[in-house]
């Protein structure tokens, strides 16, 4: 069995989801040949500009512009010729991705972004390879609906209804959740996590995150959180944004109220140690927090998919949403003083979580790919 998993490095979430699916595939079928690739590594600089650099620029610096682009391109009445033109541009600029996929000879293709599904759709149809898509937010944009996708895996029932509204039959959609790595399901206890991080007391720990690339407003979030976290510490994860980390350290270096981290590989330890997460609601971060049972205070969702993520999290009872830093202060202070409310939010998070999403998705994909093989084997036996 040869499984090709393809992501797109627009932000970090799609690649994290792909890594989780690869982990699950290797655990589920150890003798499978699994290859995980980023479509942008096999595309032109134009493709990287369109899907990675432009998104990061707009999301971090001009979020209103991203919201406008997201909404206009998601309009059901938008000119379909524009979609066909975009698909053509994708294929022209990702020829090496197509060649790489063809050379790998996959029995199944699993995508965590719409770009590779668009590029590899014809190959999947020609070779009768089941092509599946994992939607990594609690929302659906029109671009995720691709004509040659055999099966969709979505985060929640509401997203399933969105896919059906786009004309996809219900039997081609599974509510599976967002795939995350097993280490979030098997994280250390709070006491052990704090010991690993160098905290051997019960002080309130607030985890402030800005995504893999950081974000410009994170310093203000950390400042507001520190001002109401009396006797506690804010763990500030700035990702690859060195300027944001430097700005936070200039304000709080050495005072013990804030501890900064850059890009980290132990998010599950930080989450396990913390009482509350302050973050924008990216799809993967949201799914990881739910699995960890970590209450959330949502800060500045990027217009578009993160608005819908925020709506889902708040409706589930696992999060509260804030706008300004004053809103954040008014939310965090009372939460830290209300143990019952925090415990209720933690239970709501666990209730909304789908910790086995990766395993469930991979099993379905591998079963669907093996079914034609089993049928052919049966025919060969009958002929013999």
Q: Do 92 and 164 share a domain, yes or no?
A: yes
Q: Do 20 and 166 share a domain, yes or no?
A: yes
What pLDDT, on the 0 to 100 scale, is given for residue 293?
98
Q: Do 132 and 191 share a domain, yes or no?
A: no
Q: Do 203 and 331 share a domain, yes or no?
A: yes
Provide the pLDDT confidence category of residue 88 given band limits of 50, 70 and 90.
low
Q: Do 302 and 374 share a domain, yes or no?
A: no
For residue 101, pLDDT over 90 is answered with: yes
Provide the pLDDT confidence category of residue 380 given band limits of 50, 70 and 90.
very low
For residue 287, pLDDT over 50 is answered with: yes
For residue 376, pLDDT over 70 is answered with: no
CATH of the domain at 371: 3.40.50.2000
More confidently predicted of 199 and 11: 199
Provide the pLDDT confidence category of residue 211 given band limits of 50, 70 and 90.
low
Output the 3-class SS for the chain.
CEEEEEECCCCCHHHHHHHHHHHHHHHHCCCCEEEEEEHHHHCCHHHHHHHHHHHHHHHHHCHHHHHHHHHHHCCCCCCHHHHHHHHHHHHHHCHHHHHHHHHHCCCEEEECCHHHHHHHHHHHHHHCCCEEEECCCCCCCHHHCCCCCCEEEECCHHHHHHHHHCCCCHHHEEECCCCCCHHHHCCCCHHHHHHHHCCCCCCCEEEEECCCCCCCCHHHHHHHHHHHCCCCEEEEECCCCHHHHHHHHHHHCCCCCEEEECCCCCHHHHHHHCCEEEECCCHHHHHHHHHHCCCEEEECCCCCHHHHHHHHHHHHCCEEEECCHHHHHHHHHHHHCCHHHHHHHHHHHHHHCCCCHHHHHHHHHHHHHHHHHHHHHHHHHHHC
pLDDT digits over 1-10, tens only? 999 999 998 8
For residue 212, pLDDT over 60 is answered with: no
Q: Do 130 and 272 share a domain, yes or no?
A: no
What pLDDT, on the 0 to 100 scale, is given for residue 76?
61
Provide the pLDDT confidence category of residue 79 given band limits of 50, 70 and 90.
very low
pLDDT digits over 119-134, tens only? 999 999 999 999 999 9
Q: Do 343 and 367 share a domain, yes or no?
A: no
Provide the pLDDT confidence category of residue 15 given band limits of 50, 70 and 90.
very high
Provide the pLDDT confidence category of residue 77 given band limits of 50, 70 and 90.
low
Q: Do 171 and 186 share a domain, yes or no?
A: no
For residue 33, pLDDT over 70 is answered with: yes
pLDDT digits over 311-353, tens only? 999 999 999 999 888 999 999 999 999 999 999 999 999 999 9
Q: Do 151 and 239 share a domain, yes or no?
A: no
- How many domains are contained in the chain? 2
If you average pLDDT over every residue of the chain, what do you get?
Answer: 89
What pLDDT, on the 0 to 100 scale, is given for residue 43?
85
More confidently predicted of 87 and 195: 195
Q: Do 35 and 160 share a domain, yes or no?
A: yes
Q: Do 98 and 188 share a domain, yes or no?
A: no
Q: Do 141 and 212 share a domain, yes or no?
A: no
Could you list the residue range(s) of the whole structural domain that residue 252 is in?
182-352
């Amino acid at each position: 069995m040869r499984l090709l998993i393809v992501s797109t490095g627009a932000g970090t979430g799609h690649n994290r989801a792909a890594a989780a699916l690869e982990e699950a595939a290797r655990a589920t079928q150890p003798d499978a040949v699994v290859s995980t690739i980023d479509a942008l590594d096999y595309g032109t600089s134009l493709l990287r500009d369109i899907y990675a650099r432009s998104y990061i620029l707009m999301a971090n610096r001009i979020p209103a512009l991203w919201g406008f682009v997201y909404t206009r391109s998601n309009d059901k009445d938008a000119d379909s010729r524009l979609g066909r033109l975009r698909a053509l541009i994708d294929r022209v600029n990702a020829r090496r991705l197509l060649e790489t996929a063809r050379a790998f000879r996959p029995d199944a293709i699993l995508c965590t972004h719409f770009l590779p599904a668009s590029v590899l759709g014809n190959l999947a149809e020609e070779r009768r390879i089941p092509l599946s898509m994992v939607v990594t937010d609690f929302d659906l944009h029109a671009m995720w609906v691709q004509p040659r996708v055999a099966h969709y895996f979505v985060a929640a029932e509401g997203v399933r209804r969105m896919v059906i509204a786009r004309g996809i039959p219900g039997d081609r959609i599974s509510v599976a959740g967002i795939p995350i790595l097993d280490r979030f399901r098997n994280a250390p206890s709070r006491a052990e996590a704090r010991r690993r991080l160098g905290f051997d007391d019960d002080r309130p720990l607030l985890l402030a995150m800005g995504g893999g690339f950081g974000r410009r407003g994170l310093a203000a979030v950390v400042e507001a959180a520190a001002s109401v976290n009396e006797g506690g510490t804010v763990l500030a994860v700035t990702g690859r944004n060195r300027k944001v980390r430097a700005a936070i350290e200039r304000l709080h270096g050495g005072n013990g109220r804030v501890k900064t981290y850059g890009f980290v590989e132990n998010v599950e330890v930080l989450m396990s140690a913390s009482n509350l997460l302050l973050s924008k609601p990216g799809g993967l971060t949201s799914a990881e927090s739910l699995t960890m049972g970590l209450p959330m205070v949502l800060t500045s969702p990027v217009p578009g998919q993160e608005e819908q993520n925020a709506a889902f999290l708040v409706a589930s009872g696992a999060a509260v949403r804030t706008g300004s830093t004053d809103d954040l202060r008014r939310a965090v202070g009372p939460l830290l003083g209300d143990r019952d409310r925090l415990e209720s939010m933690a239970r709501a998070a666990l209730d909304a979580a789908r910790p086995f999403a990766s395993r469930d998705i991979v099993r379905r994909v591998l079963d669907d790919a093996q079914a034609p093989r089993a049928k052919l084997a049966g025919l060969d036996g009958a002929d013999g």
